[in-house]
A and B are shown apart, each in its own frame.
Chain A
Amino acid sequence: MVGIEEKGIKYKDIVKKIGFPTIFIGGFWILILIAGGFLGISIATLISDTIKRAGMNGILVLAMVPSIQSGTGPNFALPVGIECGLFALVCAIEFGFTGWAWLFASIAFAIPLAVIVGYFYGKLLNAVKGSEMTIATYTGFSVVAFMCLPWLMIPFKNKNMGWFIGKGLRETIQLDAIKGAQKLNDFLRFSLFGENGFITFGGEKGIIIPTGMLLMFFLCCVIVWLYFRSKSGIAISAGGINPMFAKSSGIDIDKCRIKANILSTIMGAIGIIVYSQGYGYAQLYTAPLNMAFPAVAAILIGGATASRAKVSHVIIGVIIYQGLFTSALPVANILFEGTDLSETLRMIIQNGIILYALTQVKGGDK
Chain B
Amino acid sequence: MSDNLLSLKHVSKEYSGNKVLKDINIELKKGEIHALIGENGAGKSTLMNILFGMPVIHTTGGFEGVVEIEGHEANIRSPHDAMDYGIGMVHQEFMLIPGFTITENIKLNREITKPNLVSPVFGKRLETLNVKQMNEDTRKALDTLDMNIDEFLPVAGLPVGHMQFIEIAREIDKTGIKILVFDEPTAVLAESEAKNLLNAIRKLSRKGIGIIFISHRLDEIIDVADTVTVLRDGEHVVTKNVKDTNKYEIAQLMVGRKINIERVDGSNKNIVDETILNIEDLVVEMPGERVKGIDLSVKKGEIVGIGGLAGQGKLGLANGIMGIFPAKGKVEFESKKLTLNDPKAAIKSGLAFVSEDRKGIGLLLEESIESNIAFSAMQINNDFTNNFAGMRLKDSAKIRSHAVKMIKDLDIRCTSPMQIVGSLSGGNQQKVCVARALTLNPTLLLVSEPTRGIDIGAKKLVLDLLKQLNSEGMTIVMTSSELAELRSICDRIVIICEGKVEGVLPPDAPDAEFGLMMSGSKHTEGSEV
Q: State yes or no: do A and B touch (Cβ within 8 Å).
A: yes
Closest to B440 in A: A249
B355-396 residues at the A interface, CB under 8 angstroms:
355, 357, 360-366, 371, 375-376, 378-380, 382, 385, 388-389, 391-394
Contacts of A100 in B (CB 8 A): none
Closest to A249 in B: B376
Contact with B along A230-252 (1 / 0, CB 8 A): 11101100100110110111110
B416 interface residue (CB < 8 Å to A): yes
> What is the distance, in angstroms, from B378's C-beta to the closest C-beta of chain A?
6
Q: Is the CB of B391 within 8 A of A226?
A: yes
Q: Is the CB of B380 within 8 A of A226?
A: no
Q: Is the CB of B414 within 8 A of A1?
A: yes
Closest to A251 in B: B379
Contact of A229 among B342, B362, B393 (CB under 8 A): B393
Contact with B along A208-242 (1 / 0, CB 8 A): 00000000000000000011011110110010011
> What is the distance, in angstroms, from A184's C-beta to the closest C-beta of chain B?
23
Contact with B along A1-44 (1 / 0, CB 8 A): 11111000000000000000000000000000000000000000
Contacts of A231 in B (CB 8 A): 378-379, 382, 385, 391-394
Contact of B380 among A2, A232, A250 (CB under 8 A): A250
Given contacts A229-B393, A247-B343, A249-B380, contact A234 B360 (CB under 8 A): no
A268-310 residues at the B interface, CB under 8 angstroms:
308
Q: Is the CB of A229 within 8 A of B394?
A: yes
Given contacts A231-B385, A242-B364, contact A250 B324 (CB under 8 A): no
B347 interface residue (CB < 8 Å to A): yes
Q: Is the CB of B324 within 8 A of A244?
A: yes
Contact of A226 among B348, B365, B393, B415 (CB under 8 A): B393
Q: How many residues of B contact A (CB 8 A)?
A: 39
B182 interface residue (CB < 8 Å to A): no
Contacts of B378 in A (CB 8 A): 231, 234
Question: How large, as a class, is the contact surface on chain A?
Answer: 20 to 34
**Residue of A231, A241, A244 with most partner-chain B CB within 10 A:** A231
B353 interface residue (CB < 8 Å to A): yes
Q: Is the CB of B413 within 8 A of A2?
A: yes
Closest to B390 in A: A230
B344 interface residue (CB < 8 Å to A): yes
Contacts of B361 in A (CB 8 A): 242, 244-245, 248
> What is the distance, in angstroms, from A346's C-beta to the closest C-beta of chain B?
32
Report the Cα distance A231→B389, complex, angstroms. Answer: 13
Report the Cα distance A235→B376, complex, angstroms. Answer: 10
Q: Is the CB of B347 within 8 A of A1?
A: no
Closest to B419 in A: A1
B228 interface residue (CB < 8 Å to A): no
Contact of A250 among B355, B379, B392 (CB under 8 A): B379
Q: What are 11 A-B interface contacts by the 8 Å CB criterion?
A: A3-B413, A230-B391, A230-B394, A231-B385, A244-B324, A247-B324, A247-B343, A248-B324, A248-B353, A250-B347, A250-B376
Give residues in A with beta carbon < 8 Å to B: 1-5, 226-227, 229-232, 234-235, 238, 241-242, 244-245, 247-251, 308
